[in-house]
Amino acid sequence: MNIDLAGKRALVTGSTSGIGQATAASLARAGAAVVVNGRGRDRVDATVEALRAETGSDQVSGVAADVGTAEGANALIAEVPDVDILVNNAGIFSATPVFEIPDAEWQRFFEVNVLSGVRLARHYAPRMTARRWGRVIFVSSESAVFVPTEMVHYGMTKTAQISVARGMAQEVTGTGVTVNTVLPGPTLTPGVEEFVRDRVGADVPFEEAERRFMAEERPTSLLGRLIRPQEIANLITYVASELASSTTGAALRADGGVAPTIIP
C-alpha cells in the first residue's frame, strides 16, 4: 500500500513527544504538511526542528497553545484556521485511588482529554465537510474499555472520546469526512516510562521494570511488552489516508491485546 498525503494539511495536538511526535513524523513522511502543537514554545520549536531533520520535510510548522483550555484552542484555531487531518492526541494521565480524586481533577481531565478534541473538531470538521474530504482522529486508549483501577478518571475520558467520535461520525454521514478513535495500549512514551518507574521502582533497570510492569499490572497483554510510539503512528497514518475511506465511526485497537475483549 502506498500512503500519499501530499497536498493535505495535518494538525497533531500534544505532538512534542511520544505518540504525537511519532504521528507527526509519520504524516510528514507520507507527504502531509504537519502542524506540531504543544503548550511550550521552546519544546514546539525544538520538535519542529527535529522533525524537519528526521523526515526531510520543510512542511513542518508549530503552534504553542494549551488546547486543554478554551483560550488555547481558540488561539490555535486563529493561527491554523483549516486542516484536512485533525489528530486529537493531547492528553494527561495519573494514578490516583478513585475515591481520592477531587472534583477539580475530574474536571481537569475532562477538559484536557475530551473537550480539547471537541472544541477543535467543532471548528475543523464542518470545514472539512464543505470540502468533501477530511479526517478526524481521536487518540483514545484501551483504558476506554478496560478501565484501570488506578486511573478511573483517565478511563472515563477515554470512553467519552469513543462516544464523541461515533456521534460526530454520524453527523458527517456521506460527506467524505471520517471520524474515528484509535485505542493504543501501554506505549513507551516519556510519560509512561516515568509512570512505570514510579510503579516498579526507580532503581530497577528499565528493561526489567518494563517486564515486571507488564507481567504484574498489564498481564492480559498478548505482546508482553510496551508498544512503541511508531506502532501507533502507523495505524493513525493509515486512518488519515484515502485508503481508510470506508472506516468511520470506529474504535480501532492497537493495544497489543491488553483489553480482553473481542470488540471494543
Active-site residue list: 154
Q: Name the grid cell of 134.
A: 477530511
Judge whether 200 and 213 are in contact, CB under 8 Å. Answer: yes
> What is the Cα–Cα distance from 151 to 94, expressed in whole angstroms?
6
Rounded to 10 degrees, what is the CA torsion of 24, 93, 244, 133?
A: -70
Burial class (CB in 10 A: 0-12, 13-18, 19+), 27: buried
Which cell is 113 given? 482529554
- CA angle 42-124-174, nearest 5°? 145
Three cell numbers, residue 197: 518507574
The DSSP letter of residue 64 is: E
Q: Which of 157, 132, 128, 130 is nearest to 143 (CA)?
A: 157
Smallest CA-to-CA distance from 139 within 262, 232, 26 is with: 232
- CA dihedral sign, ordered 198, 199, 204, 210: negative
User: Which stretch of DSSP H or E encloses residue 138?
Assistant: strand 134-139
Residues 6+ apart with CB under 8 A from 147: 155, 156, 159
